Chain A
Amino acid sequence: MRSENDDIELIERCQRGDQAAFGEIVLRYQDRIYNLCTHLLGNSSEADDLAQATFLKAYRNLDKFQPRAALYTWLYRIAVNTCIDHQRRPFFESIFRRSATGEEVVLDHPSSSPSPEKNFENQQLQSALGKALGELSPKLRAVIVLKEIEGLAYQEIAATLEISIGTVKSRISRARVELQGLLQDFREPN
């Protein structure tokens, strides 16, 4: 089983110039980083670009990685900041950015719904949830995605975003309340 010690060993090899070690890091974390970027941006094309940018930034800043932090925490932080910065980009960048290519692979998620109708309703609600996520501010979206989709604990989110645990709790609570309101609007549009 992979451990944090394995990650630290890989980082040390990268810092000594071993590109193959960095390739191993990319393979280990590409799905998590891509998944995170997709849910932060709501767009798989942009997610591909920014997930790549995340790893390239990590490569450029390998010398800044502190071994006391978990590698995935550090990568998540770069990914979140990259996505937030991207959403704040000036108008001209949006004109000139390049789009990524590549097919999206969606993992099958078994449905536990008792009936096709319930399954359809759940799919509709999940689609609404995806749209509602896009309505949140980047800060609230980041904490709720890290919590609900990436499954991080409060302490891990605090370390990732370099905020206090109190701030994590507050933002998660606000995000859930806002999402509840947005999903309510979906259910009762009138």
Chain B
Amino acid sequence: MNCAKSHRLFSSYLDGELSLEEQEALAGHLQSCRSCRAAEAEMRVQRQLFAGLPRLAAPLGFSARVMGNLDQASVGCFTWHHVFVGFAEVAVLGVIILTGIVSGGFLVDRLNPAKMVTASLGLDLFEPAPPDSLGGVYLALTEVANER
């Protein structure tokens, strides 16, 4: 038996759920392997910790409360509480979906080329440059070049 197989068997070994053959094989390996012995011991410590956990008793009046609710239980689990919670879930989901639709529609609107206000780089947005200005001279020169 190797360490990998040994580790796989620790849990069942601890619970006494191994066959006799497996128990003997594992016990033999543990005798010769210190690290596996330490790992198996760790698992036993864990069991001891569980054994030390307190056993809790039901609170005072527990059975009286259960018996007091039996009539409600016998007609099924319908309560207004469930209806309200269910309605609240549907309502909030509806709000989320509606918000998504509205904001999505708004974004689509913004991206619509027909409605977008695009900055035009056409020169017709600008007032013509005065003839005696640098811009006016430039425009005159470009007009001449275009005619040629």
Contacts and interface: CB of A to CB of B under 8 A. Distances in A.
Interface in B76-93: 76-77, 81, 84-85, 88-89, 92
B56 A34 contact: yes
B89 A92 contact: yes
B91 to A, nearest CB: 10
A169 B11 contact: yes
Given A26-B66, A60-B77, A48 B53 contact: no
A104 B59 contact: yes
Nearest to B7: A177
A130 B56 CA distance: 14
A109 B53 CA distance: 8
A59 B69 CA distance: 10
Nearest to A105: B57
Given A154-B17, A183-B46, A104 B56 contact: yes
Contacts of B17: 154, 169
A176 B39 CA distance: 11
Nearest to A91: B89
B121 interface: no
Per DSSP, chain A at the interface is helix
B67 A129 contact: no
Chain B interface size, as a band, is 35 or more
Contact of B76 (A34, A51, A60, A130): A60
Interface string B7-49: 0101110110100000000000000000000000011001101
A154 B55 contact: no
Interface in A35-56: 35, 38-39, 44, 48, 51-52, 55-56
Nearest to A169: B12
A116 interface: no
A67 interface: no
Contact of B66 (A55, A122, A180): A55
B18 to A, nearest CB: 10
Interface centre among B42, B50, B70, by most A CB within 10 Å?
B50
A164 interface: no
A1 interface: no
Nearest to B59: A102
Interface of A: 19, 22-23, 26-27, 30-31, 33-35, 38-39, 44, 48, 51-52, 55-57, 59-60, 90, 92-93, 96, 100, 102-107, 109, 111, 122, 125-126, 129-130, 147-149, 154, 169, 172-173, 176, 179-180, 183
Given A169-B11, A169-B17, 12 more contacts: A34-B62, A35-B55, A35-B56, A56-B73, A57-B73, A93-B85, A105-B57, A105-B58, A105-B59, A106-B54, A173-B11, A183-B49
10 contacts: A26-B67, A30-B63, A34-B59, A34-B62, A44-B56, A57-B73, A105-B56, A106-B57, A125-B49, A180-B43
